[in-house]
């Protein structure tokens, strides 16, 4: 069963010593199936991916973030592992390396998901990232 919820997303990115933080409060769908929390929301101009839908699926020790629409990507976040993903934008495609430092899913207890990961492009460091989501 899908429930309509409001989510608050804080995205923090460090790139070349510069910190960028964006915040988004939006409507989303939340469901729980097969031991996984699944949250899906429409991206807006604030995220830079207007016209796309983002889905986050997490089982507690890993998370999978897919985006479909004007930008397409699939990030696999598994603590202590490096995965690769294809990241397609209207401006072109790139292959990113994703190394996950932390996945903390406490959605069932307090409605919170915390992700920390590093991105690289062609094996060169690109950014350090944190995503903090709360469900209201």
Q: Give residue 49's pLDDT.
A: 74
Print the domain residue range for 116. Answer: 3-135
Q: Quick one: which H or E segment has residue 10?
A: strand 3-15
CA of residue 93 relative to chain centroid, distance:
18
Which pLDDT value is given to residue 91?
82
What's the start-to-end Cα distance of the chain, in Å?
Answer: 17
The count of residues in the chain is 136
CATH code for the domain in which residue 31 is found: 2.40.128.20
Q: Give, for 30, the enclosing helix (H) or strand (E).
A: strand 18-33
What's the total number of domains in the chain? 1
| pLDDT of the residue at 1 | 59
**Please, which residues have CB within 8 angstroms of residue 43's CB and are 6 or more apart in sequence?**
49, 50, 51, 52, 53, 54, 67, 69, 71
pTM of the full predicted structure? Answer: 0.90
Alpha-carbon distance of 95 to 93, in angstroms, equals: 7
From first to last of its 136 residues, what are the pLDDT tens digits of the chain?
A: 579 999 999 999 999 999 999 999 999 999 999 889 999 999 877 666 778 899 999 997 899 999 999 888 999 999 999 999 988 877 888 899 999 999 999 998 999 999 999 999 988 999 999 999 999 8
């Amino acid at each position: 069963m899908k429930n309509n919820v409001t989510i608050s997303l804080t995205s923090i990115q460090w790139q070349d010593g510069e910190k960028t933080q964006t915040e988004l409060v939006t409507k989303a769908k939340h469901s729980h199936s097969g031991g996984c929390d699944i949250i899906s929301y429409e991206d807006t101009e604030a995220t830079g991916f207007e016209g796309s839908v983002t889905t986050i699926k997490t089982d507690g020790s890993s998370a999978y973030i897919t985006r479909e629409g004007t930008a397409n990507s699939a990030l696999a976040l598994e603590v202590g592992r490096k995965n690769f993903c294809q990241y397609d934008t209207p401006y072109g495609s790139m292959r990113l390396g994703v190394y996950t430092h932390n996945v903390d899913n406490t959605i069932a207890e307090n409605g919170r998901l915390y992700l920390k990961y590093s991105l690289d492009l062609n094996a060169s460091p690109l950014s350090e990232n944190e995503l903090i989501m709360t469900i209201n």
